[in-house]
Amino acid sequence: MSRTYVGMPAFPRAAARATEDATLRSNLRRATHTIRARRAQAVAELADWEELRAAAAAIKDRTLRHLDHYLTLLEENVTRAGGTVHWAADADEANRIVTELVRATGEREVVKVKSMTTQETGLNDALERAGIRAYETDLAELIVQLADDLPSHILVPAIHRGRGEIRDIFRDRMADWGRPAPEGLTDRPADLAEAARLHLREKFLTAKVAVSGANFLVAETGTAVVVESEGNGRMCLTLPETLISVVGIEKVVPAWRDLEVFLQLLPRSSTAERMNPYTSMWTGTSDADGPRAFHLVLLDNGRTDALADRVGRQALRCIRCSACLNVCPVYERAGGHAYGSPYPGPIGAILTPQLRGPASALEESLPFASTLCGACYEVCPVAIDIPEVLLHLRERVAEGGEVTVRGVRTRVRPAKRHAVERTAMRAAGWTFDHPGALRRAQRLAGRARRLRPRRLPGPLGAWTDSRELPELPAESFRDWWSRTRGDAP
């Protein structure tokens, strides 16, 4: 049984543990900084990036505002093309549907394409309880599975592992799952990739059932799209007799033409490539080419709860590129596991609390796992205003408010654990509403520059235990503005 996220500690405690892990921090730093620069270069090649981004946000918003229409249209077109559509209200139901579909084939093994939704539902564990073994075939998912680990990044679930660790995992664990690692395996990435190829080859050639997700579902044609790099996706989508795709209901896009926007935005945002090596598109089933049976499982699992939140629903635009993780100073230091779900980083901080509702201290703490620097919004290819949603969710944690949980509207009470934030938020609300007081408060802060404490007094001390107080500049912005421009802004 692989590890699960159940009972994960709240973000600050998990993050504190991670920040003490020097190997983890250096692995994360190297990887995120590599991809950051390359992404910026790939994006700069397209002069119309902002226009593509605006179109993408609008397409997703149109879809979300009429999601019932597009879901039924999709169902009609998938069915017409020979596929079967199933609906799952929650994770358990999705797992049950997949388990029954696999059982009906008589098979006891499935090969899997990397899929966020099946991470979210815990499908592999559910299959294992039913006596069905699921083989992850994406290289990073394979590393995570062999190491009995948890994914820590949307695109590269094993980003927290360096090449040396990966070599050790392959050497020690591959034999338990099938073909052992080659003798004398080195830590050269090309050799590690070759070891994965040899290890999984036999599985691909013999698998009768595959499980995948999908990056996009086109309502008007019934087409499913999977974007990948290694070819493990093509293997799973093409060679088995039965294909089961578990896809979140927010993955639908209205029209074929809409792919022209997303297929330009996604690869550049995610792997920093002009185009990823392989993209597969299929519509139902085809004669004598690919699986004879195609099942599409449409998953809600909290998505409609997020949809009910007028500010929070923009999180459902997400196309899982992971650009926001790669630029986030908090993610870089805390690592993915601290976020307690398959969705780490800034997007996870707004998605997880909305999908799961106010379930535990973890969900309450996630909206605070940010410095609000705004880098995530800058790089988001579908223009999700992550800081806006973070503040909205913080307010609900601190002040309480309306929330939809499993389709039922309820009021949540202010969270006890966030009394400090509540005080701060009320004070901030009051000061921003009273510009005179804001000026006075800031000037006071300016005069007190030399007296800046290391640790805040009283209940605010808990805040500074895990945060550096910012350095105060010698002159406040307001003072500088009035000195250089005359009027106070």
Partner 1 sequence: MSGGTSRERVLGRVRRALADVPRHERPRDHPVPRDYRLTHGTRTPADAAALLAANLTDYRAVVHRTDEGGLPALVAGLLGRRGARRVVVPPGLPDAWLAPELLAAAGVEQVADSPALTTRALDGVDSVVTGCALAIAETGTIVLDAGPGQGRRALTLVPDHHVCVVRVADQVVDSVPRALARLAPDRPLTWISGPSATSDIELDRVEGVHGPRTLEVVLLDGTGPR
**What residues between 39 and 98 interact with partner 1 by CB under 8 A?**
45-48, 51-52, 54-55, 58-59, 61-62, 65-72, 81, 84-89, 93, 97
DSSP run (H or E) holding 7: none
Nearest approach, Cβ of residue 41 and partner 1 (Å): 12
**Residue 65: other Cβ atoms inside 10 A:** 12
Residues 3, 133, 274, 452: which binds partner 1 (CB under 8 A)? 274
In this complex, which beta carbon is closest to partner 1, that of residue 41 or of residue 466? 41
Nearest approach, Cβ of residue 456 and partner 1 (Å): 37
109 interacts with partner 1 by CB under 8 A: no
Positive or negative, the Cα torsion across 344, 350, 351, 355? positive
Nearest approach, Cβ of residue 114 and partner 1 (Å): 10
Nearest approach, Cβ of residue 443 and partner 1 (Å): 42
Nearest approach, Cβ of residue 179 and partner 1 (Å): 14
In this complex, which beta carbon is closest to partner 1, that of residue 256 or of residue 477? 256
Tokens linked to 50? 């902002």
Q: How far is Cα 424 from Cα 340, in angstroms, rounded to an integer?
A: 26
CA distances from 74 to 77, 116, 172, 404 (A): 5, 21, 45, 26
Positive or negative, the Cα torsion across 218, 221, 222, 223? negative
Phi-psi category of 326—alpha, beta or left, where left has phi over 0 and alpha has psi -120 to 50? alpha
Residues 278, 392, 400, 414: which binds partner 1 (CB under 8 A)? 278
Nearest approach, Cβ of residue 476 and partner 1 (Å): 40
Residues 1, 22, 190, 444: which binds partner 1 (CB under 8 A)? 190
DSSP 80-99: HTT-EEEEESSHHHHHHHHH
Nearest approach, Cβ of residue 408 and partner 1 (Å): 9
Give me the 419-458 binding string for partner 1, x by CB under 8 A, dash otherwise. ----------------------------------------
Residues 279, 352, 354, 365: which binds partner 1 (CB under 8 A)? 279
In this complex, which beta carbon is closest to partner 1, that of residue 87 or of residue 463? 87
In this complex, which beta carbon is closest to partner 1, that of residue 311 or of residue 438? 311
In this complex, which beta carbon is closest to partner 1, that of residue 185 or of residue 298? 298
Span of 278-286, 331-339, 439-447, 468-476 interacting with partner 1 by CB under 8 A? 278-286
200 interacts with partner 1 by CB under 8 A: yes
CA atoms within 13 A on the CB side of 278: 14
In this complex, which beta carbon is closest to partner 1, that of residue 375 or of residue 403? 403
Nearest approach, Cβ of residue 19 and partner 1 (Å): 20
Q: How far is Cα 144 from Cα 13, in angstroms, rounded to an integer?
A: 23
In this complex, which beta carbon is closest to partner 1, that of residue 239 or of residue 425? 239
Q: Where are the alpha helices (DSSP H) in 360-458?
A: 361-365, 375-379, 386-399, 419-433, 435-447
Nearest approach, Cβ of residue 230 and partner 1 (Å): 4
Tokens linked to 97? 């549907």
In this complex, which beta carbon is closest to partner 1, that of residue 10 or of residue 252? 252
CA distances from 423 to 183, 185, 398, 419, 437 (A): 61, 57, 9, 6, 16
Site for partner 1 in 282-301 (CB under 8 A): 282-283, 286, 288-290, 297-298, 300
How many residues of this chain bind partner 1 (CB under 8 A)?
108
Q: How far is Cα 428 from Cα 229, in angstroms, rounded to an integer?
A: 47
Phi then psi for residue 341, to 5 deg, are -160, 170
Tokens linked to 347? 């997007």
Site for partner 1 in 203-222 (CB under 8 A): 204-205, 218, 221
Residues 254, 335, 358, 387: which binds partner 1 (CB under 8 A)? 254
21 interacts with partner 1 by CB under 8 A: no
Q: How far is Cα 344 from Cα 327, in angstroms, rounded to an integer?
A: 13
Q: For residue 317, what are the contacts with CB-CB under 8 A and spacing of at least 6?
A: 56, 57, 60, 61, 64, 250, 382, 383, 384
Q: How far is Cα 198 from Cα 216, in angstroms, rounded to an integer?
A: 30
Site for partner 1 in 112-171 (CB under 8 A): 137-140, 143, 155-156, 158-159, 162-163, 166
Q: How far is Cα 260 from Cα 277, in angstroms, rounded to an integer?
A: 17
Site for partner 1 in 394-413 (CB under 8 A): 404, 407
Tokens linked to 213? 């997700």
Nearest approach, Cβ of residue 370 and partner 1 (Å): 22
Give me the 314-353 binding string for partner 1, x by CB under 8 A, dash otherwise. ------------x---------------------------
Nearest approach, Cβ of residue 475 and partner 1 (Å): 41
Q: How far is Cα 264 from Cα 268, in angstroms, rounded to an integer?
A: 7
In this complex, which beta carbon is closest to partner 1, that of residue 94 or of residue 398? 94
Question: Of 253, 251, 236, 252, which Cα lies nearest the Cα of 294?
Answer: 236
